[in-house]
Amino acid sequence: MWTLNRDKKIRVAVLLPEELMETVKVIGKDQDGRLMITEFNYNNETYRVINVHCPNIGGERKTFVKELNKWCVNTKNCFIIGDFNMCLSKLDRTNENKYKNDSSRTELINLMGQNNLIDIWRSLKPNKRQKYKSLNIHQN
């Protein structure tokens, strides 16, 4: 499953095992192809996967992240995956890149706090420096 932007280019996609395909529903997406929300059932539980490709521009990214909250509330098994176009912590950047103040990062941290979400990789590797890691967030 994938989303297309106005130029018919794929921005985000979700790949799931064949045995789950009967239960998969696309419950939301945007016109720019930057967002796709899917739900599927596994072992009598419903899971929500929010796949994002956040804008590069800070103000647009902040608005985009803020709008994700409506897809997270009242959801038990929620995962947000994709390209956030920002570093969540100083450990997630290269030495060549500066860790700048970014209001979209603050917005993402607020989203995580409000919805009991964690950065899976960072929780498993709290002190490891890693550039270009994928930010995968799920409910704790």
Asked whether residue 32 is marked as a ligand-binding residue, the answer is no
Written as six digits, the tokens of 76 are 């038990």
Asked whether residue 85 is marked as a ligand-binding residue, the answer is yes
Beta strands 25-29; 45-53: pairing state? unpaired
* Residue keyed to tokens 């959801």: 75
State the DSSP H helix or E strand holding residue 45, giving kind and residue range, or none if neither.
strand 45-53
What does the angle CA 140 – CA 69 – CA 116 come to, to the nearest 5 degrees? 15
Residue 137 to residue 57: CA distance in whole angstroms: 21
Question: Binding site for Mg(2+), residues?
Answer: 83, 85
- Binding residues, as ranges, are 83, 85
